[in-house]
Amino acid sequence: MSSALLSIEDLNVSFKTSKGIVKANEGISLEVRDGEILGLIGETGCGKTTLGKAVLRLLSENAKLDGKIVYRGTNLLSLPEKEMRRFRGKEIGIMLQNPSACINPVLSTGRQIAEIYRYHEGMGKKEAEKKAGDMLELVGISSLRKNDYPHQFSGGMLQRVMVAIGLALRPGLLIADEPTKGLDQDMKVQIAELIVGLVRKENASMLLITHDLDLAGSLADRLAVMYAGEIVEIGKAEAVISKPKHPYTLDLLHSLPGKGLRTVLGQPPSLVSPPSGCRYHPRCSFRFDACSRVHPPLLGPDGEGFTRCFLSEKERRKETLEQPLLNAQPVIGCEKEEIWHC
Ligand SMILES: Nc1ncnc2c1ncn2[C@@H]1O[C@H](COP(=O)(O)OP(=O)(O)O)[C@@H](O)[C@H]1O
Ligand SMILES: [Mg+2]
């Protein structure tokens, strides 16, 4: 098994807001291994972007963090800000969800990439411009367009520029937050394959953040599923897709176009006052009485997979998965002890 490049240990992130404390990430523990693509999936608002930004300490001032984020042996959360800058871009590249937060509209794209080399590597202007042109070519844009401004590029081309910015310094880890959002299906596939191809070629690792389970399932080595600020399942991508262990993962799968297009019932919970017990229990068709009272830990490992659900995958398959989901009845009345042994 390859070793951990990034290891997140019991990370909690909360935001102070006028409506209360938003617990955006709670007790997150996961690792991104050398050369692996880890997909982080979950509905909008579950805390994915918060996690990605937390790694590079890019969160707003109302954020409070505790836990550890260890990159190649260094706990990033204990570094002074000045030393942290060394990690941004050079060690860990990021493609933010919102291109306008990354791309300056009044600088030509070539110049923006060249500035990265000048700032981080102290290159002269000519050399930096040449490297910027090479980078544009690498992402499939002619270097002749290096003097063009962002507004002269289509959405897909702008995503390519974002890829060039994220990978300019050949980081060991790329955090790509919804890199294909807003693109049509063909463009989505092209951009995703471009990013994955470049990351694999560099032997780099990637945290691929997306709400698109289809995309993550086809590109990632492992998948981590997030619900209401917590990781509820983690395992090899093919195992998570073919044998989901958590009812939320199963419901997400059933919402895919090829798998029934059934939307996940109910609304994501408030992260100011999340449900007691298992956070998914109000929406879960498999819930036990105890699920509303007892907060499940990440259980496992089963092979390499962990799940934050008391029901074993085997038991759920027996109870309901072999029947159409619509016929499934909630299972009520099992006490914690019984759950642990069932
Ligand atoms: N700067 C912030 N201040 C207050 N709340 C925030 C801030 N950023 C994110 N949140 C809240 O944290 C939760 C998780 O958000 P986010 O990480 O963006 O989710 P996702 O990327 O999965 O859509 C949401 O409830 C969101 O409103
Ligand atoms: Mg997001």
CA of 50 to the centre of ligand 1 (A): 6
In a domain, 47, yes or no: no
CA of 23 to the centre of ligand 2 (A): 15
12, 22, 25, 232: residue to mutate for ligand 1 pocket, most atoms within 8 A of CB = 22
| Ligand 1 pocket member 44 (CB < 6 A) | yes
Scan for tokens 């990978």, then name that residue: 167
Cα–Cα dist 257/260, whole Å: 6
| Ligand 1 pocket member 47 (CB < 6 A) | yes
| Ligand 1 pocket member 25 (CB < 6 A) | no
Cα–Cα dist 42/25, whole Å: 13
In a domain, 319, yes or no: yes
**pLDDT given at position 310:** 87
Taking CA atoms only, the protein residue closest to ligand 1 atom 12 is 24
In a domain, 14, yes or no: no
In the listed set 170, 200, 222, which residue is the last one of a domain according to the structure?
170
**pLDDT given at position 257:** 77
**pLDDT given at position 331:** 35
| Tens digit of each residue's pLDDT (9 = 90 or more) over 30-64 | 999 999 999 999 999 999 999 999 999 999 999 99
In the listed set 170, 186, 217, which residue is the last one of a domain according to the structure?
170
Instruction: Return the ligand number nearest the Cα of 273.
Output: 1
In a domain, 224, yes or no: no
16, 23, 43, 49: residue to mutate for ligand 1 pocket, most atoms within 8 A of CB = 49
Scan for tokens 């910015």, then name that residue: 165
| Ligand 1 pocket member 62 (CB < 6 A) | yes
Looking at every residue in the chain, the average pLDDT score rounds to 88
CA of 175 to the centre of ligand 2 (A): 12
Record the pTM.
0.90
In the listed set 153, 170, 187, which residue is the last one of a domain according to the structure?
170
Taking CA atoms only, the protein residue closest to ligand 1 atom 25 is 45
**pLDDT given at position 319:** 52
Taking CA atoms only, the protein residue closest to ligand 1 atom 26 is 45
CA angle 201, 204, 207 (to 5 degrees): 120
Distance between alpha carbon 176 and the CA centroid of its chain, in Å? 8
| Ligand 1 pocket member 60 (CB < 6 A) | yes
- Total structural domains within the chain: 2
In a domain, 265, yes or no: yes
In a domain, 160, yes or no: yes
In a domain, 157, yes or no: yes
Each residue of 115-142: b (16+ CB within 10 Å) or e? bbbbeeeebeeeebbbbbbebbebbebe
What range defines the domain where residue 258 resides? 253-341
In a domain, 183, yes or no: no
Annotate 27-83 with three-state secondary structure. Answer: EEEEEEECCCEEEEECCCCCCHHHHHHHHCCCCCCCEEEEEEEEECCEEHHHCCHHH
CA of 53 to the centre of ligand 2 (A): 10
The atom of ligand 1 lying closest to the CA of 229 is: 14
Whether the CA torsion 310, 312, 316, 319 is positive or negative: it is: negative
Burial class of 48 by CB neighbour count within 10 A (0 to 12, 13 to 18, 19+): buried
CA of 276 to the centre of ligand 1 (A): 20
Cα–Cα dist 117/90, whole Å: 10
Q: Tens place of pLDDT for every residue, the chain, 342 residues?
A: 568 999 999 999 999 999 999 999 999 999 999 999 999 999 999 999 999 999 999 999 999 999 999 999 999 999 999 999 999 999 999 999 877 778 899 999 999 999 999 999 999 999 999 999 999 999 999 999 999 999 999 988 999 999 999 999 999 999 999 999 888 988 999 999 999 999 999 999 999 999 899 899 999 999 999 999 999 999 999 999 998 999 999 999 998 877 767 788 888 999 999 999 999 999 999 988 889 999 998 887 666 789 999 886 456 555 544 443 333 333 333 333 333 332
First-residue to last-residue Cα distance in the chain: 30
| Ligand 1 pocket member 46 (CB < 6 A) | yes
Contact 139, 161 (CB under 8 A): yes
The atom of ligand 1 lying closest to the CA of 42 is: 22
CA of 113 to the centre of ligand 2 (A): 24
| Ligand 1 pocket member 22 (CB < 6 A) | yes
The atom of ligand 1 lying closest to the CA of 46 is: 22
